[in-house]
Amino acid sequence: MLITLNTLSDLTSLGFDEIIDVRSPSEFAEDHLPGAINLPVLDDDERARIGTIYKQVSPFEARRLGAATVARNAAHHIETALADRTGGWRPLVHCWRGGQRSRSFALILEQIGWRVSILDGGYKAWRRLVVEALYDRPVPAPVVLIDGNTGSAKTAILNLLPAHGIQTIDLEGLANHRGSLFGATGTQPGQRAFEGRLAQHLAGLDPARPVVIEAENSAIGRVKLPPGLWKAMCHAPRITIEADRAERARYLTHAYADMTADPERLLATIGKLRPYQPATRIADWEALVLAGEFETLAAELMEWHYDPRYARHRARIGASSTAVTAPSLAPDGLERLAADIASMAGPLAAAQEPHR
């Protein structure tokens, strides 16, 4: 059966047991449909070899070799990854554009008796919907930003808001990056993979309710925000968390424990600030790392680097905001802040909505 996706939400509403991406591992790694597993019918080397034969020898020889290779790989997947699937299993199979790779694999699975569907247009059809959602349409719900200087626990508070009935998008979570030079948390998704994750979240928003997003730059690590979302964020009302520097330094030291536990990594990251800070200040910060004075280091980084940069950024975009004071960034203080911000989001969005 051929399945057509008309919206991003169709992927979950159609109720397949599993999504199988039969593209090569490198294609899958670049981007794939949410929740898909990769069972390649041609790996990267096989795909390159068959492509070369197609161009340099003949299409017939390429198809003959391709069929034999697909059959061998399909047999391996059936005997291993799919060995425990029951008779009523309903997979959705796709390749790059719904061509020979997905159809060949689906035909074999159908002969076993499984109820197989093929995604019409393959990955390209999915990607087209992602691009339309991010680049051709406005953000579907009114945006409210959580702002505040470094260390003001914006991400932690953002993740507390759903418990208060507020819909949110955690851009840093989607990007697997905390949004600063010190913010790497592992391997980031590629741009296309980030956009696919983001588009899925946007598709799930209730247009009648505000969505709260953390204030960010136009790039988070190495991934970029789509222009439409970035514009909406620049014009959105802001709730700015105000906390004193000592409280933020304590919180930051805890939040970045992975950095303080790895002094060599921390020193290397501080070294990247040399183009922006005097050599004597860099040397002082390196000495604080070696002495284990991490709260003092965090306070100085905020005073001399991050707080001034935040102020310049806000001045450049002309951001206005509603302040909320945070006497404490301890867990109970964050809960109170989340409740306060939840009560503010709706009225701020309602006041802004005519200008969206």
Give 89-125 pLDDT, tens digit per residue.
999 999 999 888 999 999 999 999 999 999 999 999 9
Could you read off the pLDDT of 244-284 as tens digits, one per residue? Answer: 999 999 999 998 898 899 999 999 999 999 999 999 999 99
Find tokens 């909406």 and name the residue.
Answer: 232
Rounded Cα distance between 270 and 256, Å, is: 14
What pTM did the predictor assign? 0.87
Is 234 one of the annotated active-site residues of the chain? no
* Residues 5-31 pLDDT 10s: 999 988 888 889 999 999 999 999 999
Q: Cα Rg for the chain, rounded, in angstroms?
A: 25
The domains located in the chain, with CATH, are 2-131 (3.40.250.10), 139-355 (3.40.50)
Residue 353 confidence (pLDDT): 55
Contacts of 156 (CB under 8 A, 6+ apart): 255, 334
What pLDDT shows up at residue 23? 97
Per cent of the chain over pLDDT 70 is 98
Place of tokens 């626990």: 153
Percent of the chain with pLDDT over 90: 86
What is the average per-residue pLDDT within 213-226? 94
Span 29-65, pLDDT tens digits? 999 999 999 999 999 999 999 999 999 999 999 999 9
Q: Categorize the per-residue pLDDT at 355 as very low, low, confident or very high, splitting at 50, 70 and 90.
A: very low
Which one of 36, 41, 70, 95 is the catalytic residue? 95
Average confidence score pLDDT of the chain: 93
What backbone torsions phi and psi does residue 227 show, to the nearest 5 degrees?
A: -55, -40
Sorting pLDDT into bands at 50, 70 and 90, what band is 4?
very high
Q: Say if CB 28 and CB 122 are below 8 A apart.
A: no
| Type of residue found at 291 | A
What's the confidence (pLDDT) of residue 351? Answer: 83
